Chains A and B, each alone.
Chain A
Amino acid sequence: QVHLVQSGDEVKKPGASVKVSCKASGYPFSSYGVSWLRQAPGQGPEWMAWISGHNGKTEYAQKFQGRVTLTTSGNTAYMELTSLRRDDTAVYYCTRDPKILTGYYYLELWGQGTQVTVSS
């Protein structure tokens, strides 16, 4: 079966960093891209960044430039967010898109989400 399985929930202090993993299974990882999004309580999703499963090329939303780093290893993608603030508290999702195959970035497969709570 085709799955994206994310790492567990995290609680961090302001100023710390968090690294969330996203393990892909059931499909050729290098044929797809992985986007990361977050969703704060009561809000819509917010796109953060994208990485190619083929060559590691990355794209970052301007808002997160310099604070987010995406990497991959094997069929697992990672998102690291640094200098955490209280307003970074949200559910973080990894998603699969068919950009490499089709040229389009729609989000056709989602991980289950990882709650990141920033609190002192």
Chain B
Amino acid sequence: DIQMTQSPSTLSASVGDRVTITCRASQSISNHLAWYQQKPGTAPNLLIYKASYLHNADPSRFSGSGSGTEFTLTISSLQPDDFATYYCQQYDSSSRTFGQGTRVEI
């Protein structure tokens, strides 16, 4: 199975900060990567697909980049609604594995 490793596991930040989360794949997955945001007690919500495509009406302060084995999710100016856990997921192989998550907290 392809392993997905996120860093950091926890990130402390303030409103207005620029925040970057990294996701590394154990082998190349082209651009077959998605990012999800999850708030406590709710289902994850798709933010980014194909590594850099913003999903529907999601705020443009979110952006994704990368290809192959290294990817980043950037929040350009952190807002109060952005404090949540973020997961990357590869859908290149049949295992469709997730990273362990990055919790963004105040």
Of A106, A107, A112, chain B has the most CB atoms within 10 Å of the CB of: A106
CA distance A88 to B100 in the complex (A): 18
Question: Is the CB of B49 closer than 8 A to any CB of chain A?
Answer: yes
Produce 1/0 per residue, A16-52, CB < 8 A to B.
0000000000000000000100000000111100000
Query: Looking at chain A's contact residues, is the secondary structure mostly helix, strand, loop, or mixed?
Result: loop
CA distance A108 to B56 in the complex (A): 9
Interface residues of B in 73-100 (CB under 8 A from A): 87, 89, 91, 94-100
Q: How large is the interface on B (under 10, 10 to 19, 20 to 34, 35 or more residues)?
A: 20 to 34
Instruction: For B10, list chain A residues within 8 Å (CB).
Output: none
Question: Is the CB of A61 closer than 8 A to any CB of chain B?
Answer: yes
Given known A-B contacts A44-B98, A44-B99, A59-B94, A104 and B32 have beta carbons under 8 A apart: yes
Pick from B49, B96, B100, B101: contact of A47, CB under 8 Å: B96
Q: Which A residue sits closest to B92, measured CB to CB?
A: A105
Contact A113 B95 (CB under 8 A): no
Question: Is the CB of B16 closer than 8 A to any CB of chain A?
Answer: no
Of A59, A105, A109, chain B has the most CB atoms within 10 Å of the CB of: A105
CA distance A47 to B97 in the complex (A): 7
Name 4 extra pairs, CB < 8 A, besides A47-B89, A93-B43, A107-B36: A47-B98, A106-B34, A107-B44, A108-B46
